[in-house]
Structure 1
Amino acid sequence: MALQIYISGKYYDKENAKISVYDHGLLYGDGVFEGMRSYSGKVFRLEEHLDRLWDSAKAIWLQIPISKQEMGTVVNKTLEINGIRDGYIRLIVTRGAGSLGLDPNRTSDPQVICITDHIALYPPEFYEKGLEIITASTIRNHSAALSPRIKSLNYLNNIMAKIEGLQAGCVEALMLNAKGEVAECTGDNIFLVKKGKLMTPSLDSGILDGITRGAVLDIAREAGIEVAEMALTKHDVYIADEVFLTGSAAEIIPVVKVDSRPIGDGTVGPITLKLTKRFHQITRE
């Protein structure tokens, strides 16, 4: 059976899943989304993802037309219909169809879309041997302009940095904020380890409040690892003993070289391995 896509109360074959070309989600990136993981038929931290979706929508004055409970049901039903137990979920809410102008008051019928599929963001060897990344010249959106904590459909800022990485032969790139501090990568949060201490940029560094980021912080604290959410510089990255990235799609992936500089001894570090092992345990319990 063809993959079934949920769109505002109905299911469509993947090839027939369509919305209006006048939808402001398409015309202006006006909408919000979440990317989630399902393990053994259970969505990892579903409530946290839905809370973040509603927060993003509230921040852009977008009224989601169904309740959180109904949205959770949609997610689980779409997984079930497609027979997916270990997979990826993309949940989207658009502003709806309107005019060719910007005015959101002229839009109607916000679209709720749920896509469930399988995803392999990086090949297995990158998880085993680690990534090489560069620092992009494209900076993260200034938090006073559009908060990076809003997971909006407009990802052009991240895409431009992604292109820089790809042109340099890297699948991921590090982004700085307007102060020149480390923010996050194009699709992942970043963590450093130095002398046994785990560090990651704080939310006021202009980053997305990652769900997997939060899970890793919880795991580290439970394991007795010292944790700090703080302002970090490229220098901190270069001299780190270990670096890894986190995200719903990526999970936890090590980084062994940044801007041609080896991280630590250039191999995946012990704390990264420990946190990854525990993350795999809790997601599959």
Structure 2
Amino acid sequence: MEEKLIYIDGEFYKKSEAKISVFDHGFLYGDGVFEGIRVYNGKIFKCKEHVDRLYQAAKAIYMEIPISKEEMIEALKKTCRINNIREGYIRLVVSRGVGDLGLSPTKCPKPTIVIIADSIVLYPQEMYEKGMKVITASTRRNSPQCVDPQIKSLNYLNNILAKIEANRAGVPEAIMLTQDGYVTECTGDNIFIVKDGELITPPVYLGALDGITRRTVMALAKDLGIPVYEKVFTLYNLYNADECFFTGTAAEVIAVTEVDGRKIGNGEVGPITKKLMEEFKKLTLVDGVDIYE
């Protein structure tokens, strides 16, 4: 099989030869930002939204990306074309760049841009049909007063520690709570519950990423006439929900049928979740920036 080509600062390298400096602050300190982006039907899904969020996150950490948004979109398209990606996943990374062994970002004159276009399978198909079992992690979500989870940074250790708990429990995902015990999000997905026909998701100020798929599903629900609320809720509300599902670029929309041993609703994928999964799939076929135009 031919090796994928990786974009690094305007050039392409074979996967086996694609390297960054060990002095890059992204490697040394997790200093940088990233986006995971889907490609469907030869189109980059929600491309502008992902690029906008990347630049907003870079601004939040006081890092200036050295190319324009328009140039970034062209680089994404070129990386997909050169790897013949029509259905797949893009990982876009911008690190602080090469510096010294000190913490100061002022020693890093230029950020490093890396684009990987490949495939991804996060969960088995059976889980999309029957739902998944998950746990609540004891690891609390980072507080927005410390490292704001709205910044999609290269430091994902908080999420990884919770993912380790999920792995040890034999489940694919873990729900994370705030210091006060409110539900925020999962290690890599946003969370929604359905109660009495209403769709509820935690507000981002609690410590959740403002997910692109999250926003998309909220818009789809409103178009379907389903009331949508961003509200604080606890595990009590989650355990007693009629339905629960997760959203994410890699995960898409996937139902949760059991949390911490408690059955959610009747233990099956609920009707509102099913409908939103269907509508999301339809949207992915038509929405996006055309790679091969």
Size of the aligned set, in residue pairs, is 285
Stretch of structure 1 that moved more, 208-217 or 96-105: 96-105
Counterpart of 1:104 in structure 2 is 105
- State the shift of 1:41 in Å: 1.0
* Structure 2: distance between partners of 1:158 and 1:70: 31
- State the shift of 1:138 in Å: 0.4
Counterpart of 1:255 in structure 2 is 256
* Structure 2: distance between partners of 1:229 and 1:270: 21
* Structure 2: distance between partners of 1:36 and 1:246: 13
- State the shift of 1:108 in Å: 2.5
TM-score (normalizing by structure 2): 0.96
Q: Does 1:228 align with 2:256?
A: no
- State the shift of 1:277 in Å: 0.2
1:187-219 CA deviation, whole Å, 9 max, x = no partner?
000000011110000111110000000000000
Stretch of structure 1 that moved more, 108-117 or 5-14: 108-117
Map 1:2-17; keep pairs closer than 5 Å: 2-17=3-18
* Structure 2: distance between partners of 1:235 and 1:51: 36
Q: Secondary structure at the match of 1:99?
A: coil
* 1:96 maps to amino acid: G
Map 1:121-132; keep pairs closer than 5 Å: 121-132=122-133
- State the shift of 1:109 in Å: 2.5
Q: Secondary structure at the match of 1:120?
A: coil
Q: Secondary structure at the match of 2:13?
A: strand
Q: Does 1:23 align with 2:24?
A: yes
Q: Give unmatched runs, 5+ long, in structure 1.
A: none
* Structure 2: distance between partners of 1:49 and 1:216: 15
1:131-154 CA deviation, whole Å, 9 max, x = no partner?
100000101101111111000000
Q: Does 1:143 align with 2:144?
A: yes
Q: Does 1:274 align with 2:272?
A: no
Q: Secondary structure at the match of 2:115?
A: strand
Counterpart of 2:197 in structure 1 is 196
* Structure 2: distance between partners of 1:181 and 1:93: 31
* 2:223 maps to amino acid: E
* Structure 1: distance between partners of 2:142 and 2:205: 12
* Structure 2: distance between partners of 1:204 and 1:107: 31
Counterpart of 2:289 in structure 1 is none
* Structure 2: distance between partners of 1:222 and 1:164: 37
- Could you list the structure 1 runs, at least 4 aligned residues long, displaced by more than 2 angstroms after superposition: none
* 2:84 maps to amino acid: G
1:12-50 CA deviation, whole Å, 9 max, x = no partner?
000000000010000000000000001111111111101
Coordinate RMSD, CA, aligned? 0.6
Counterpart of 2:79 in structure 1 is 78
* 1:151 maps to amino acid: K
* 1:233 maps to amino acid: T
1:146-174 CA deviation, whole Å, 9 max, x = no partner?
11100000000000000001101111000
* Structure 1: distance between partners of 2:34 and 2:263: 35
* 1:181 maps to amino acid: Y
Q: Secondary structure at the match of 1:85?
A: coil
Q: Give unmatched runs, 5+ long, in structure 2.
A: 287-293
* Structure 1: distance between partners of 2:179 and 2:8: 38
Q: Secondary structure at the match of 1:146?
A: coil
1:32-73 CA deviation, whole Å, 9 max, x = no partner?
000000111111111110110001000001110100000000
* Structure 1: distance between partners of 2:44 and 2:179: 35
